[in-house]
Amino acid sequence: QSNVTMYGIIDAAVETYTNADAAGNSVTRMPSLGGGMFPSRLGFRGTEDLGDGLKAIFQLENGFAPDTGTQGQNRLFGRQAWVGLQGKWGQLTLGRNYNMLNISTYDVDIIGPSQYGLGSLDSFIPNGRSDNSVAYRGTFSGVTVGATYSLGRDTSTAGGPAGTSCAGESATDAVACREWSALLRYDGNGYSLISAFDRIYGGTGAANGLNSSSKTDSRAHVAAFIKQNDWKVGLGVITRNNEGSTTQPRSNLVYLGAAYNVTPFFTIDGQIARLDYRATNNDTSQFLVRGVYNLSKRSAWYVAAGRISNDGTAALALSAGGSVGAGMSQTGLITGVKHSF
Amino acid sequence: QSNVTMYGIIDAAVETYTNADAAGNSVTRMPSLGGGMFPSRLGFRGTEDLGDGLKAIFQLENGFAPDTGTQGQNRLFGRQAWVGLQGKWGQLTLGRNYNMLNISTYDVDIIGPSQYGLGSLDSFIPNGRSDNSVAYRGTFSGVTVGATYSLGRDTSTAGGPAGTSCAGESATDAVACREWSALLRYDGNGYSLISAFDRIYGGTGAANGLNSSSKTDSRAHVAAFIKQNDWKVGLGVITRNNEGSTTQPRSNLVYLGAAYNVTPFFTIDGQIARLDYRATNNDTSQFLVRGVYNLSKRSAWYVAAGRISNDGTAALALSAGGSVGAGMSQTGLITGVKHSF
Amino acid sequence: QSNVTMYGIIDAAVETYTNADAAGNSVTRMPSLGGGMFPSRLGFRGTEDLGDGLKAIFQLENGFAPDTGTQGQNRLFGRQAWVGLQGKWGQLTLGRNYNMLNISTYDVDIIGPSQYGLGSLDSFIPNGRSDNSVAYRGTFSGVTVGATYSLGRDTSTAGGPAGTSCAGESATDAVACREWSALLRYDGNGYSLISAFDRIYGGTGAANGLNSSSKTDSRAHVAAFIKQNDWKVGLGVITRNNEGSTTQPRSNLVYLGAAYNVTPFFTIDGQIARLDYRATNNDTSQFLVRGVYNLSKRSAWYVAAGRISNDGTAALALSAGGSVGAGMSQTGLITGVKHSF
């Protein structure tokens, strides 16, 4: 009926990349967690006009693996699940919301949540969602402000990009597994300035060393974006202070991306990024170049090449859900089809 | 297309309640299993006219947690999953159906399956669903009769409200895990009289002491309901004989609720209830008062306060999925948004 | 919206069959894995016209148990999940696709994927799906050709019909868990000739003895189908060479089915089949006869009777997901409702 709209993206690809194990073997596979352009999803959303500019809004969004049909994020509506109100004052939503660090990467991370993008260097970025959260966002004369507050950021019992086993909402430790984030963005004529901050709190049993609510993991993002005719250029840096790591808590992630519309049907884009740990040389560099042939506004065929270079004992994999030996590099090639509906 | 209709409710809230652990600490959280008005759901249903008043009908209804996006009832279509026929003679459906005890609470349980409602005293009531069941219901001149029969009432391997691990359909023990229920209801002019009975059979490995098919757990419900202009009042008693408990098999659950439409946009409702075990003093009392501001027919904002008082060693939690120390009381406050689509 | 179409089938039934355990007891139950006509499903599919006869196509199909509402195939979109392009040259799709052995049974397996059908003798047939696969199919002047190639055919960690725990896509063993299949079909005026081949490769930890990528399990299908007025007759043989079995690798599965439209509203169909192992006498025979009363094009009520006879130590169950003692026979009766939407 008219009260709910279905939508989605299915992006399926074949990729091959080098050094998929410590012996240096390559692998050819279909990626599960991401596509060459976007992670696959099926969603349900709706808007009800309540009068006086007020609206009720909701969104339920499932993430799935296009190669196997399994659900992502260890749950049914793993990407988004919220309800709320929207007015001239902005929108206020309750449920599983994107945090403001994730939202701050929109537009300026030109490659977006694709394979061989920023998610390879910091999987928190594309998976920046908070359970049990209240989110606000509003735009006034080109200035967008936003914030989230979560009472327990992650109810998944699985670690990894989709969950860090930090349910929170504890009677004995009110701070455990909480999270807050904030956004400030200005959109000018052909350019944008963006900043965001996100802080997650640890808790007993949480993954990645954040095993106490006295430990936090914080990221600050500053970025800018220019769009002129057929060109777009985005640049940003994410500074992190991760108290879950005793040896290398502080890092900077710098990225620079660009896109050029060669014809209305063909776009070339690419991005370079570097993750630099202050205390160590376990740094990682990455780049991606991609050609997108737009079959329509909703459908595209793409080919992309990417490379990741791990220094020291760094072992970040090029492909989401993949693996790589410490200090090894990987080169990957991916081609696939993206369809939005 | 026109053959299937999507519908649902998303009801997300923030609550805070006392005595969330044995040390007496409070907790602030977003509830998972229920909302301040209704449990969240996404459903698919359809009707096909077959001629001569006969219709094919089906319903598939998923329950989900609005705070995390996870599925409820340990399965995809945990709330309802059935297909059948409907005619002047009533409707006959096969699959996962609500039992008649659950259906008998409609209208007369004025608070409904909300947080701080009857589900806190007996979680079987809002979770009264039977796998592998045939259900019949028909209404004739104001008299509604109904019955269900299940060959194996619960295929979930998880205990708790959503499942008691009693799959049934056993070749060696035909009675194991079966269930039957019946309903008789009369709707007069401004009032209704309701009665229902439900009996579940135990089986090897089933939860809650019902570890043999010779043990049953039975509930009889007698209730009445008056509706006049802006007032509604409902009253009922559920008598239980639970052979799974050796110490306190017999209990009565009495409840009285009322609702008043203060304006077309604002309703106040509330309910008091008491669960009384005959053999012990492990009794529990509960009340709820709630204000609902209707933003539209489909959307509402609400605030509710509830209290549960456990006597003896009773330890029933105020909030669904929560916990409380034996003999302790809890006071809770909840506010949230409900949106139907 | 217009970009995606929901569809599905819900087929719920009650069945009773003999020798459900070694002691010879009968059981009465609702089947989970299949219905009396079709396995239940809920799907989402779409087509976008890209011009010049080119189309973008996708399909996401969930399988569910109509008796309990649980998802099938251990995943959300367990039946199909793919995206691709379609033109005059055929269609090319990426994701979780049906293999060509499965597709080759369409029409010629007159009973289809129902209870007491070919799936009882070889559960691979109705579950012939490949993860991580590329599929092609095209029809030219009555000749249909098709092929699939999978880089890792089965990511499920559960064995049984829905999965054999063979994820593949391994850097150390590129052949592990791969699969390929091919189809050649000719549709004449009132008849069809069909042939297909499917080969799956084993891998470490895979079920059913295929614990090495040097072992394969291959099936070749040759079949023919005649359709005249109210009659349909189908005949086929599937020859198998299963290197996962040391004692009885080679087998033939022969089947003959027919359907007759008694009236526009009533059809009788039936099928006999025999699975014959060359090296042993552990053979199994099966037959089914079914009456289908079509309430409409989309809805039907059916009654069917089936029998399976196991020789030697064969222990194939009549009912999907059921069990039977070695060498025992089973007789089953099933009735239910099928509704398509």
Model confidence at B255: pLDDT above 70: yes
Are the C-beta atoms of B11 and B336 separated by less than 8 Å? Answer: yes
Contact B134 C14 (CB under 8 A): yes
- Smallest Cβ–Cβ distance between A96 and the set B13, B29, B68 belongs to B68
Q: How far is CA A89 from CA A136, A145, B40, in A?
A: 10, 11, 27
Chains that touch B (3 or more CB pairs under 8 A): A, C
Cα–Cα distance, B74 to C69 (Å, whole number):
10
What pLDDT is recorded for position A200?
A: 97
- H-helix or E-strand containing C257? strand C250-263
Nearest chain B residue to A4 by CA: give it.
B341
Dist CA C72 CA C91 (whole Å) = 27
- Supply the CATH classification number for the domain C9-340: 2.40.160.10
Tokens in use for C84?
């691709």
- Report CB contact under 8 Å: C95, A66: yes
Position C156 confidence tier, pLDDT thresholds 50, 70, 90: confident
> Which positions in chain B have a beta carbon within 8 angstroms of at least one beta carbon in chain A?
5-8, 10-14, 20-21, 23, 25-30, 32, 42, 62, 64-71, 76, 295-296, 298-299, 301, 336-339, 341
Interface probe for A, chosen from B41, B77, B337 (most Cβ of A below 10 Å), is B337
Compute the distance between CA of residue B149 and CA of residue A226 in angstroms, rounded to an integer.
66
pLDDT tens for B68-121 read 999 999 999 999 999 999 999 999 999 999 999 999 999 999 999 999 999 999
Chain C positions in Cβ-Cβ contact with residue A75 (cut-off 8 Å): none
Copy the structure tokens of residue B224. Answer: 């009445």
pLDDT at A156 over 90: no
Give the type of residue at A207: A
Residues β-bridged to residue A81: A60, A96
Neighbours of A279 (CB within 10 A): 12
pLDDT at site C18: 98
Distances (CA, A) of C167 to A229, C10, C132, C180: 46, 30, 9, 15
Smallest Cβ–Cβ distance between B76 and the set C6, C71, C337 belongs to C71
Does the pLDDT value for residue B1 go beyond 50?
no
Residue B20 CA, chain-centre distance (Å), reads: 23
> CB-based burial of residue B318 (10 Å sphere; 0-12 exposed, 13-18 middle, 19+ buried)?
buried
CB contact under 8 A, C81 and A68: yes
Q: How confident is the model at residue A2 (pLDDT cuts 50, 70, 90)?
A: low
Structure confidence at residue A1 (pLDDT)? 41
Distance from C-alpha of A241 to C-alpha of A210, rounded to nearest angstrom: 12
Residue numbers in C near B83 (CB within 8 A): 10-12, 66, 337-339
- Give the helix/strand (H/E) hosting C100: helix C100-104
Is the pLDDT at C89 greater than 50? The verdict is yes
Determine the distance in angstroms separating the CA of B96 from the nearest CA of chain A, rounded to an integer: 20
pLDDT in tens, B16-41: 999 999 899 999 999 999 899 999 99
Give C91's pLDDT tier (boundaries 50, 70, 90). very high
Residues C213-232 have a mean pLDDT of 97
Question: Does the beta-carbon distance from B169 to C69 stay under 8 Å?
Answer: no
Which residues in chain A are closer than 8 Å to B5, comparing Cβ atoms? 1
Homologous superfamily assigned to A5-340: Porin (2.40.160.10)
Which of chain B's residues have a Cβ under 8 Å away from the Cβ of A6? 6
Amino acid at C138: G
Are the beta carbons of C28 and B54 separated by less than 8 Å? Answer: no
What is the structure's pLDDT at B22?
Answer: 87
* Residue of chain C with shortest Cα separation from A297: C50
Query: Which residue does chain A place closest to C5, by CA atoms?
Result: A6
Mind listing the pLDDT tens digit for each residue in B37-70? 999 999 999 999 999 999 999 999 999 999 999 9
Q: Where are the alpha helices (DSSP H) in A64-118?
A: 100-104
Least Cα separation, residue A217 to chain B (angstroms): 21
Closest CA to B196 of B102, B117, B113: B102
Q: Which of C21, C69, C336 sits opposite B75 (nearest CB)?
A: C69
* Closest chain B residue to the Cα of A129, Cα to Cα: B68
pLDDT of amino acid C158 = 78
Mean pLDDT of the A48-52 span: 95
Q: What is the pLDDT of residue C1?
A: 42
**Over pLDDT 90: what percentage of chain B?**
94
Q: Which tokens belong to A204? A: 């007993």
Backbone dihedral angles phi then psi of residue B119, each to the nearest 5 degrees: -60, -25
Q: How many CA atoms lie within 13 A of C91 on its CB side?
A: 15
- The residue among C25, C40, C41, C67 with the most chain B CBs within 10 A of its CB, best to mutate, is C67
Determine whether the interchain pair A339/C82 forms a contact, defined as Cβ–Cβ distance below 8 Å. no
pLDDT digits over A99-113, tens only? 999 999 999 999 999
Q: Tokens for C110?
A: 């007159």
Of B73, B94, B152, the CB nearest to C337: B94
Domain ranges within chain A, ordered by starting residue: 5-340
Cβ contact, residue pair B337, A84, below 8 Å: yes
- Which of C127, C156, C169, C179 best probes binding to A when mutated, by most A CB atoms within 10 angstroms? C169
pLDDT at A22: 87
Maximum Cα–Cα distance across chain B: 65
Helix (H) or strand (E) holding C58: strand C54-63
Q: Which DSSP symbol is given to C120?
A: G
Residue C137 has pLDDT above 90, yes or no: yes
Residues B133-173: pLDDT tens digits? Answer: 999 999 999 999 999 999 999 988 777 776 789 999 999 99
Stated as kind and residue range, the H or E segment containing B102 is helix B100-104
Q: Which residues, at least 6 apart from B46, have a Cβ–Cβ distance to it below 8 Å? A: B3, B4, B5, B57, B58, C339, C341
pLDDT at A284 over 50: yes
Output the pLDDT for position C161. 73
> What gap in Å lies between CA C254 and CA C235, rounded to an integer?
8
CB A333 within 8 A of CB A13: no
pLDDT at C178 over 80: yes
pLDDT in the model for residue C169: 95
Average pLDDT on A210-220 reads 97
Given the DSSP bridges, would you call strands B299-310 and C5-17 parallel, antiparallel or unpaired?
unpaired
**pLDDT at position B159, please?**
72
* Chain B residues in contact with A84 (beta carbon < 8 A): 12, 337
Judge whether residue C80 has pLDDT over 70: yes
Q: What is the mean pLDDT of chain B?
A: 96
Distance CA C112, CA C116 (A): 10
Residue A191 has pLDDT above 70, yes or no: yes
Q: Mean of the pLDDT values across residues A197-223? A: 95
Q: Is the pLDDT at A92 greater than 60, yes or no?
A: yes
List the single residue in A with minimal CA-CA distance to C61.
A69
State residue B2's pLDDT score: 61
Chains touching C by CB (3 or more pairs below 8 Å): A, B
Task: Name, in order, each residue with C-beta under 8 angstroms of B131's C-beta and a sequence gap of 6 or more.
Answer: B96, B150, B152, B153, B154, B155, B167, C30, C67, C68, C69
Contact across the interface for A96 and B67, Cβ inside 8 Å:
yes
CA angle B254–B258–B259, rounded 5-degree value: 150
